[in-house]
Amino acid sequence: MTIHREGYKSIAIVTLLFGALNLSIFWFFGASLLWLCYIILFVSVIFVLFIVSFFRIPSRKLTISENSLIAPADGKVVVIEETRDDEYFKDKRLQVSIFMSPANVHVNRNPLSGEVVYNQYHKGKYLVAWNPKSSTENERHSVVIRKGNLEVLVKQIAGAVAKRIVNYLEVGQKVKQTDEMGFIKFGSRVDLLLPPGTKIHVSLNEVVQGGVTVIASF
């Protein structure tokens, strides 16, 4: 396991703040309320470890498949339905949505290899990520990757807690399946918009792993 570069600053700030807090508490209350000092220290360590775990990149064997779409994120499948896309395709698409809780790994990965033909950031609200309106009303970043005649829209969506979306892709860039496409901090959602009739290999409420689980085939 390694730590994602997006976490270096956050981990350093949290560690320094809680370190200073605990030093102050032990300095002022160590003689009279030592038991309370140790409780606060314990809670502080747990919180710092949680922040570290949030930015973890676990060691795993990634799935490479020419005719498959691989999960772009860890989490639970919360939507599989036909919807209308008014942003890029202007027609009906098959939507698969993955909800990431704060406990999930939050690296986002390319579901397929190809060329980035669309990349757009949208300001928006911060509704809870499982709200159906979050797909079109929340802060989000949309990317379309083209492979031959296939185009797939990947949408990173901020949630009520997640308020920073990072996207590393640019229009014209050639990308490889399962390579990093971005990161979303502290709970969020990723939508895939696929051609109607695409064969789906996951079901509602199924837990998937980014870069590993096959979402669909074409």
Tokens found for residue 97:
């949505």
Cα atoms found within 13 Å of the Cα of residue 171, Cβ hemisphere only = 6
Tokens found for residue 88:
């890029």
Residues marked as catalytic: 188
Are 80 and 200 in contact, with CB atoms under 8 Å apart?
A: yes
| Beta strand ranges found along the chain (DSSP E) | 2-3, 56-57, 68-70, 75-85, 91-100, 107-109, 114-122, 140-147, 150-158, 165-167, 174-175, 180-184, 188-194, 199-200, 207-208, 214-217
Short-list 154, 124, 128, CA closest to 142: 154
Number of Cβ within a 10 Å radius of residue 167: 18
| Cβ-based neighbours of 144, under 8 Å, separated by 6 or more | 88, 116, 117, 118, 119, 151, 152, 153, 154
